A and B are shown apart, each in its own frame.
Chain A
Amino acid sequence: MGDRRRRRRLAAVATVTGLMCATAACGSGSDRAGAGDPNTLEVWTRSNPDSAATYDRVFAAFTKKTGIKVDYQPVVNFDQQLQSRASTKDLPDVMINDTALMGSYQSQGLLKPIDPASIAGGDQITAKSWSSTVGLDGRHYGIPYSRQAMTLMIRKDWLKKLGLQAPTTWQDMLTVAEAFAAKDPDGDGKADTYGMVVPGSAQNGYAAWWGASYLWQGGAKIIEPDGSGGYRPVMDSPAAVKTVTWMKDNLFCGAKNVVQPGALTAITANATNFQDGNAGMYLTGPYNITTFDATPGKNTYEVVPAPAGPAGSDVLADGENVYFGAKTGKTKQEQALAAFLVSPEGQRIAMTSVDGHQPVVRIPVNATLDAAEVRHDARWSVVQKAYEDSSQQFPNAPDFAPVKQDTADSLNAILTYCGSDVGSSLKELNDTLAGDLKDQDLLK
């Protein structure tokens, strides 16, 4: 009896010990394989499996060329994961993520400053692109990797059926949107089509991301440099009030179905009406071209410059930068990777789609390349032209994340209530933005 009990006890102890060892192994991070190896770089990108497949090809070519290995981690919820890695004070060596996040990362001390001259081939990147990676202290904190600007995707078969032209002004755009909504462009006899797609949710700042192009076109800005190193909020300007009023009155509170139903709670992931073939226009980034070529189909739509507002046709430009994690001690290898990523060879691999996977470089930052030529697709010259000639980025030297989120919250609220007083709502937003800038010691 006692013998059996002892054996049982022994088993229990063994089980417990086993469990603890397993837990300890998990905790101490088997996921950090190769962390100590100076010849292996841990690289993070904000990618789904589709674009990760393209990055895999890029990094394979880099390893083949330089012998430096890459431990590649595509991360979908990038910022959440980055925050938890930051709390362990062990960052990935290289990160590729949105341009607009630079100020946010820099303000948290997550980035190494970068000398453009230290990146081989850095002189092939245009001054405009380099200027977008300057932090508040005048130093560079990122290397431009991919750029894009918004263009208007529009159903050309619908235009043809209704005898319309692609719009070049806001007024034209409204006319086309109303016609798409009311005149049954898909000819199925049902009123089930919508003018345009709007990801208008405040979640993750989508409303500000989508609305920014309209603000630029209306001559408004969200915040602007005050000339002495600080920033001031300018969302209460007459241009901003006029623009947001136009958006509210015409897109959300005007004729029926100008925007798709559910726009106010839609993020890009569930604003799929253009793919589904029931909305006719979508002002969005060129990464959608690959998607839309599959559905609704390459020959059903065209890519045109955004219709101009009262102050021009500037659209929101954004893209991705290469960032170096702070305190990683692998600067030489990181610089080698960055040099490869911006080289004509590296950019070319990232711009081509193999097996239908999403390319990860939209407009190349390397000035020796031409997007339309590399892709054999003239539509990309529309995007490249929009980026080069008429685009503005979010100011990314300050931590723009709170500014964008507050702007999105406010726009979403204004567009929700048709009876809202735009002037006073924007005044309120301006005060909130002033608070955000003050938190960063940028409001003088």
Chain B
Amino acid sequence: MTATVTAPRRRAVISKRAVLPWVFLAPGLLLALVFKFLPMGKGIWLSFFKVRPFLGDQWVGLDNYTRVLTDHRFQDAIGHTLLLGFGQSVGAIVVGFLLALLLEGQARSLKIMRTAVFLPVVTATAVVGEMWRLLYYPTSDGLINHGLSFLGLGPVQYLDNPGTALWATMVMSIWMIAPYNMVIILAGLAGVDRTLYEAAAMDGVSLWQRLRYVTLPAIRPALGIVLTLAAIRGLRVFTEVYVLTGGGPAGSTEVWMTRAYTLGFTRNDIGGASAASVVLLSVTLLLTVTVNYFRKRGDVR
């Protein structure tokens, strides 16, 4: 509603030309306001309270934050979140890059392949999680263990072993995110000047040198976008873990958001869950700004 009120008032002062863009932006802004910024503000507000809607919220200051930051299970979750966030981001960029190199081109077969490879991105995470639970099934009925049995190996308990569960989750995440990165990198590759490859070939460079000195510098902007996206979503990982392992076994895959979810919805501690979410938001914001800073600095250079 704010947008409707401000628009006419401004019209009187500022020229119509200045108003028009805002009118066009209004629907998007309004949606963002109602569904993003207001809830976000409410979340930050609630993080300072012991939330009890029917008994009256109690102001507790920074109590929720100290509680969350000193809780040993949240501290364990930090390590898992960083490992998972970093691992899946790097893995997805590497795999996405390799996929892009393999599937670049105009042939019809490549188009079909690209579509097939992209499918995990448009599939609901919950569905992907259930599918991977079947793939990881810890007997020879599971597809992966079935494959291993031909080599005389396994069956491996991927998800029920606290030593492997986090890595198994990471592999699934990479499978899910890599095709998205592939598309961005493909767009970057399309802009690489072909003559550079020809020149490189004339100079007789190796494949590695061609990648290092021609391809990578040319797709730097694409990699920048991919890195920024990774920074934004790397740490907020939730659905993958929730569907695949539920944080177990023995808390070995518990990440920051699954912990916050348990706090909010199993233990009805909305204040604590809000505080945990605000902490994550701040860290993500910081990380994104840092990545962007280095990206811009690199661009100038």
Contacts and interface: CB of A to CB of B under 8 A. Distances in A.
B277 interface: no
Contacts of A405: 262, 266-267
A13 B4 CA distance: 10
Given A192-B141, A261-B157, A16 B26 contact: yes
Contact of A89 (B54, B251, B268): B54
Given A20-B1, A402-B267, A108 B27 contact: no
A: interface residue count bin: 35 or more
A12 B244 CA distance: 46
A439 to B, nearest CB: 9
Contacts of A247: none
Interface stretch (B89-97, B131-139, B194-202): B131-139
Given A109-B55, A192-B139, A399-B268, A417 B250 contact: yes
Nearest to B252: A416
A382 interface: no
Give the interface centre of A202, A270, A412, A413 by most chain B CB atoms within 10 Å: A202
Given A23-B34, A87-B53, A89-B53, A264 B249 contact: yes
Nearest to A90: B53
B31 A23 contact: yes
A110 interface: yes
Contacts of B252: 416
B: interface residue count bin: 35 or more
B179 interface: no
A264 B54 contact: no
A109 B23 CA distance: 44
B24 interface: yes
A192 B34 CA distance: 53
Interface in B96-144: 130, 133, 137-139, 141
Interface in A129-181: none
Contacts, number: 127
A187 B24 CA distance: 70
Contacts of B30: 19-20, 23
A104 B160 contact: no
A106 to B, nearest CB: 10
Contact of B250 (A87, A263, A326, A412): A412
A265 B246 contact: yes
B248 interface: yes
A89 B251 CA distance: 35
A83 B265 contact: yes
Contacts of A88: 53
26 contacts: A15-B27, A19-B27, A23-B30, A23-B34, A24-B1, A79-B266, A83-B264, A83-B268, A86-B54, A108-B268, A109-B54, A201-B246, A203-B248, A205-B266, A262-B133, A262-B157, A262-B159, A263-B160, A265-B244, A265-B249, A270-B133, A402-B267, A409-B73, A412-B250, A416-B160, A416-B252
Interface of A: 9, 12-13, 15-17, 19-20, 23-24, 27, 79-80, 83, 86-89, 104, 108-110, 192, 201-205, 261-265, 267, 270, 326-327, 399, 401-402, 405, 409, 412-413, 416-417
